[in-house]
Structure formats: structure tokens, C-alpha cells
Copies of this chain bind each other. A is one copy, B any other.
Amino acid sequence: MTIKTIIGNIDFAEYLRGKKGTFFLSLSNTDTAKIEGITQAGIPGMIHLTPTLDTEFLCTGEVRSLENIATTPKGVPTPGLITRAVHLLHPFNTLALLNLGLEVKPKIDYFPLYDFGITPSGSIGTGANIDAMELFEKGLEFAQEYIFYNDYIILGESVPSGTTTALATALALGYDAHEKFSSSFKDAPNSIKESVVDAALSNCKEGDDLFEKLSRVSDNMLIFNSGFVLGLQKRKITTVLAGGTQMAALLLVINSILKHTDQTINSHKLALCTTKWVHEDPNSDIKGLLEMLDFPINAYYVDFDFSLTQHPALKLYDDGEAKEGVGAGGALMYACLNGITKEQITRKVESFLQ
């Protein structure tokens, strides 16, 4: 199991070997996920619980707000299993949660769950209705105030239907992002997704500025984290965006904000790491998204797959049924950087399903 370069070179990643990492999981709900058939990231009818359950399982190994681990209709378990496996094999030095608008708060004690008074966002089909400027500033402020002890931050997310809002966001900001976005589906339901995205874009009015567009078509995770990540970079805190096309969209949002405010960024301490499943996904193009940035970026994937298991639910990952989430890509990078093997992760994930 090794870290492979998508863009840039390996040095950013190699330099982090043996260093201490803080894992942040950013959590939010958007009513976009309530549109039937738009996502398979969770249990039908209870999709909104996915970030809540992911958090409970990642932190405690238990699913408390529902009996079973969130699975997709075909029975693909959450990529949070991978992140949890890594955390058991070589713990993150700090594990922290960002409540960016959860419907149901996770039942966890002790773990820091940062609350910013953010409510779930609306469906982008009818208008997300986010105060984007306020949310961006909350992210920026949190980055400035956060007391940081470790060497780097790994930032993951759990946002059902987040690839749909990410696609709408990238398109609304003027990026040629059609067919570059991943999905939790193998055969991504492009017709539903596209009609929702089209509706979202039609809500944008001529003369909308950047933040007005974000308010209508984006999600809390993307907007808050654009401020958070920019603030971290101002403090020169090394940050790994742990995710696939949603995290690429976050970079595009940051790119647009920089242009909008006539600023530049030193992106030397910023990178992205995703899974092999995203990297090899024929239905999306993370490299293409990253190439649209005006600043240089290091991006990686880890060549972990489930070839060492016979478990049918896990085999579905290798079939393309699930690809990324709960910071799995960044967690796998953290595992690589600390000597954990593919075999160890496979056995640990299997143990959760017994």
C-alpha cells in the first residue's frame, strides 16, 4: 500500500511520515439528500442520519442513533469503516468534529464537537438558503482561534448528496465541471442529479455575486471549510483535504474566493488525498478538477483496495459501488505514513462486519 501522486510530487506526503495528525470530520445535512434516488450514502428514509452515525462509529466503534451501520441499498458499508480501522491501528493524535448543520447530533461524550449554530441547508433544487458570507467568516474565525497542538490536519467530511451540491457549486462558479464529479453510486443517477443541478443553477440570478451563488447552490461543508482552510493556510498549518471530488470542489470554491477578493494563497502546505476508487472512477475526473485551479496543489491517492478480502459487501467497493467519504482517502494516507499495511486494514474492517 503506497501513496501515489495525482498532481505535484511526493515530498509533501513523505515529509509527514511519523508526524502527529489531527483528524477533523466536518458534518452537515442538506435537504438535497431528501430528493428520492439522489444518493445511496445511507439507509433509505434515514439518509440524514449518515453523518451522525459515521461520527458515532468513528469515535466510539458503536452506532448509537440507529441499530445498524449505515449501508447503501446494495449493502455497501460506509467508508467510515476504513477511517475507523486506521484510527484503531494507528490512532489519530486528535479526533475532532465540526457540526456544520446536523439534523441529529451524534451521541458522543468527551470528543470535541465544535458547534457554530449552523442549521442544515435547504435543497439546492429550490435554493440552499445559506448565509454564505457568514458561514465563510465562521470558518475563517475558527481557523484563527483554534489551538493546534499537532503537526498537521486531515480534514474529512460526511455530507449525504455532497457530490451533487459540489457539482452544482463548481458549475455555478463557472468551472467546466460536467462529468468530472464522482458519486456514491456505481451507475450514477445522472438524470436525477442533472435535473437537480439544472434547477439549482436556474435559481441563480444574473448579477449574483460569488457569495450569493454559494448561498443558493452549495452546502455548509464547502462554504465553512473554504474559510477554515484559508484561515489554516494563513497560519501555515499543514492541511490534507481527505476526500475526492467534494474536496476538489472545496479547492475550486477557495480558488474563486481568492479571485473574487483579489488575494493569493501560498498552497505549499495544502494537499488533497483520496482513494484509488475515486482516482480510477471512469465517471469522474478529479485530476481534471484540480487542473482548473490557479494555484499549484499536491494531490494523492492511496492504492488500497479490498482485493485481500472475500467479504461480498467490501468487494462492492472494488466494483465501484462506493468510493470515498468520512476522510477515507486521507486516513489511508495517514496509515501509509505510519507503517500500517493493506492486510492490517483489511482484517480490521472485516472484523467490524462479523
Interface residues of A (CB under 8 A from B): 9-12, 14-15, 17-19, 59-62, 87-95, 108-111, 337-339
A175 → B minimal CB distance (Å): 28
Known: A11-B111, A18-B93. 19 other contacts (CB 8 A): A9-B109, A10-B62, A11-B60, A11-B108, A11-B110, A14-B110, A14-B111, A15-B110, A17-B87, A17-B88, A17-B91, A17-B95, A18-B87, A18-B90, A18-B94, A18-B95, A19-B91, A19-B93, A91-B339
How many copies of the chain does the oligomer comprise? 2
7 A-B pairs with the lowest CB-CB distances in the bound complex, closest first: A18-B91, A17-B91, A15-B110, A11-B109, A11-B110, A89-B339, A18-B93
Least CB separation from A338: chain B residue: B91
- Contact between chains at B60 and A90 (CB < 8 Å): no
* 21 interchain pairs, CB-CB under 8 A: A10-B62, A11-B60, A12-B109, A14-B61, A14-B110, A15-B59, A15-B109, A15-B110, A15-B111, A17-B88, A17-B91, A17-B92, A18-B87, A18-B94, A18-B95, A19-B91, A88-B339, A89-B339, A91-B337, A91-B338, A91-B339
Residue among A15, A18, A61, A87 having the largest count of chain B Cβ atoms under 10 Å? A18
CA distance A4 to B337 in the complex (A): 29
Q: Cα distance A62–B3 when bound, in Å?
A: 13
* A332 CB → nearest B CB, Å: 15
Taken together as a complex, chains A and B put the C-alpha atoms of A15 and B92 apart, in Å, by 10
- Chain B residues positioned under 8 Å from A337 (CB to CB): 91
Which residues of B sit under 8 angstroms from A15, Cβ to Cβ?
A: 59, 95, 109-111
A339 to B335: give the CA distance in the assembly, Å. Answer: 12
**A92 vs B18: C-alpha distance when bound (angstroms):** 6
Are A10 and B60 interface neighbours, CB within 8 A? Answer: yes
Which residues of chain B are within 8 angstroms of A89 by Cβ–Cβ distance?
A: 339
User: How far apart are A350's CB and chain B's nearest CB, in angstroms?
Assistant: 15
- Whole-angstrom distance from the CB of A259 to the nearest CB of chain B? 26
A345 CB, nearest partner CB in chain B, Å: 11
Q: Are A59 and B14 in contact (CB under 8 A)?
A: yes
Nearest residue in B to A56 (C-beta to C-beta)? B11
Known: A17-B92, A19-B93, A93-B19. A10 touches B61 (CB 8 A): yes
Chain B residues closer than 8 Å to A94, beta-carbon distance: 18
Shortest distance between the CB of A14 and any CB in chain B (Å) = 5
Given the known A-B contacts A91-B337, A337-B91, A338-B91, are A60 and B14 also in contact in the complex, defined by CB atoms under 8 Å? yes
Contacts of A62 in B (CB 8 A): 10
Complex CA gap A87/B15 in Å reads 11
Interchain nearest-CB distance for A18 vs B (Å): 3
List residues of chain B with CB within 8 A of the CB of A14.
59-61, 110-111
Least CB distance, A77 to chain B, in whole angstroms: 19
Q: Which residue of B lies closest to A18 (CB)?
A: B91
A109 — nearest CB in chain B belongs to which residue?
B11
A302 to chain B, nearest CB (A): 14
List, in ascending order, chain B residues with CB within 8 A of A95's CB. Answer: 15, 17-18
A83 to B93, CA, bound (A): 22
Min Cβ gap A320→B in Å is 28
**Contact, CB under 8 Å: B339 / A90:** yes
